[in-house]
Each structure stands twice: as C-alpha cells, then as structure tokens.
Amino acid sequence: MLSVFLLLCGRPAIAQSYVATDGYVEFISTAPLLEFKGTSDNLAGFINLETGEVDFFVDLASLDTGNRRRDRDMRQIYLETDKYPFAEFGGKLTSDFDPEMEGEQTATVTGSFKMREITRDMTVSGTMEATNEGIRIRAGWEILLEDFGIDRPSILFYELSDVQTINIDILLRPHDEN
C-alpha cells in the first residue's frame, strides 16, 4: 500500500478517487436441475487509491431474474426490499494496485457485506485493471442465505441451495474531489 501511495504522490495526473453508478451485479441461484440469475445494472461503487477504501452497493429492488412472479416473491418475501432496500460491501484494499500497469491485476479487499441489516466479515478477491476511462473491477464471492436470515426458497419440488454466488463488473471513473 505504501508503494502505491508513493507512486501516486509523484504523479499528480492520476486520480485518487473513482466512482460509478452503472455497474453490473448478478447473483446465481441453483437447485437440482435448475439455475437462474438475478441481475442489475445499478451497482454503485467507490474506490480511493490513496486510502484503499472501497464501497459498493445495489438497490435490491433493481434485481431482475426474468420472471415477474419470482421477482415479486424475491423482493417481498425473501429480501423484504421495503424494509431492507440495499446490499452493501465495504472495506479496504489489501493488495497493491499500480494504476500505470497494463492488464488485470489481482486484487483483494477485506471488509464486510451487509444485507437485511445483518453484517458479515469477508475477504473478496477479484481483478482491477486501469483503462483509458478509469478502473475496471471484477470480483465474485459466495454468501449463505441463512447468514442473512433468509429462508431458502422452493421452486416446484426443489429447494434452492443456501449458497448464492455474487459477481460484479464495474468501471469506476475518476472523481473530482474539489
């Protein structure tokens, strides 16, 4: 982290903070003989390269599985989006990132994931890549529904897995802090 800070101090043209409100997030649910995704293009995010602070959140009501009835049940019964509208991951970048290096770089963030007012500590790994437009971040992790007080939904005669896979893909653009 210190090496990134020293590198950035010598190059004032590189932004310290990056933001976006149009990132992609998906969750993948599985049951025997069935898999479906819920997606949203409303992932908002922030990263500060100087402090290593990161924060990402999504309005859970924006998730779309492609099935209106499933979406309604997901929002009303399982996620209770009227009471708990957002899911959020925040933490600190614990790996080095060189914004002048080409290509993807492995990134690790240690922090917490919050959903339905329940917070769980976790470490998330992914990639960061400096582009002409900003910084692209891709990451994936798994959560357990029971960790967030969510009953496992049943589809026909099958109960969904307690394990849900979450993936994000977001391009953060330089943010003028003045």
Residue 58's pLDDT is: 98
pLDDT exceeds cutoff 70 at 11: no
Q: What is the pLDDT of residue 108?
A: 98
What is the rounded average pLDDT for all residues in the chain? 90
Query: Which residue segment(s) compose the domain that 67 sits in?
Result: 2-174
Report pLDDT for 154: 74
What CATH code is carried by the domain that includes residue 134? 2.40.128.110
Q: How far apart are CA 121 and CA 110, in angstroms?
A: 8
**Stronger pLDDT, 153 or 178, i.e. the higher one:** 153
Q: Is residue 153 very low, low, confident or very high in pLDDT (cuts 50, 70, 90)?
A: confident
- Give ∠ CA 159-163-166 in degrees, rounded to 5: 125
pLDDT at position 7 over 70: no
pTM for the model stands at: 0.86
Q: What is the DSSP letter of 63?
A: -
Residue 6 confidence (pLDDT) above 60: no
Mean pLDDT of 118-131: 97
How many Å apart are CA 116 and CA 70, to the nearest integer?
19
Written as one string, the DSSP assignment of 56-87 is: EEEEGGG-B-S-HHHHHHIIIIIS-TTT--EE
What total number of domains does the chain contain? 1
pLDDT band, residue 33 (cuts 50/70/90): confident
Q: Which of 12-21, 106-115, 151-160 ranks highest by mean pLDDT?
A: 106-115
Q: How far apart are the first and last CA of the chain?
A: 24
Which has more pLDDT, 136 or 6?
136
Averaged pLDDT for residues 152-172: 87
